[in-house]
Amino acid sequence: MRNKRTLAIVLGAGIAPLLTVGLSAGTAQAHGYITSPPSRQAQCAAGTVSCGSIKWEPQSVEGPKGLRSCSGGNAAFADLDNDAKGWKVTPVSRTTAFNWRLTARHATSTWQYYVGATKVAEFNDGGRQPGATVTHQVNFGSITGKQKVLAVWNIADTANAFYACIDVDIR
């Protein structure tokens, strides 16, 4: 009994600040990222690669539409632009499922996938609100070998997009 009460007090003290943080993050910084194959920010969050603050908010790589960088232009997330950080490369097939986890389900214009300057896939949601998880089947066509895929989530009702880079070996 005494142990239970102590636990309740500890939890009570711990939950209030967590809720406060959770709510402010929910309104200002909750968005989405690619979980599999593991994107660079997912590898940061999992501790696969050691990173700066991106490890706490892998869903927050937001920047103006039209960028082609892994960090979305965020200096605080510059780790993501560094190709020499030892990112784990995932072997994938010519057609591969990319999975997003959305912590805020923003109305969506398009989802785009680039390898270098080549847009290999685009999915048009026409302004619809996506589910909490989204999966796209991406066909790489004649592109093979080790590649850095840039995935872009273009938001319908803001000027911004979310960015994620995924290191793959297409076989």
Compute the least distance from the CB of residue 117 to Cu ion, in Å: 27
Work out whether 31 is an interface residue with Cu ion (CB under 5 A). Answer: yes
| Cα–Cα distance for residue pair 105/121, rounded to 1 Å | 21
Nearer to Cu ion, 104 or 120 (CB): 104
Regarding beta strands 108-115 and 118-124, do their DSSP bridges make them parallel or antiparallel, or are they unpaired? antiparallel
The CB-of-162 to Cu ion minimum distance in angstroms stands at 7
Among the listed residues 89, 104, 120, 143, the single contact to Cu ion using CB under 5 A: 104
Segment near Cu ion (CB under 5 A), from 24-32, 35-43, 88-96, 126-134?
24-32
104 vs 107, beta carbon nearer Cu ion: 104
Residues in the chain, overall count:
171
Residue nearest Cu ion (C-beta atom): 31
Shortest distance, CB of residue 34 to Cu ion, whole angstroms? 15
Q: Candidates 5-13, 23-31, 80-88, 90-98 — which segment interacts with Cu ion by CB under 5 A? A: 23-31
Applying CB under 5 A, which part among 9-17, 39-47, 77-85, 96-104 lies near Cu ion?
A: 96-104
CA distance 161 to 156: 9
Q: Which residues bind Cu ion (CB under 5 A)?
A: 31, 104
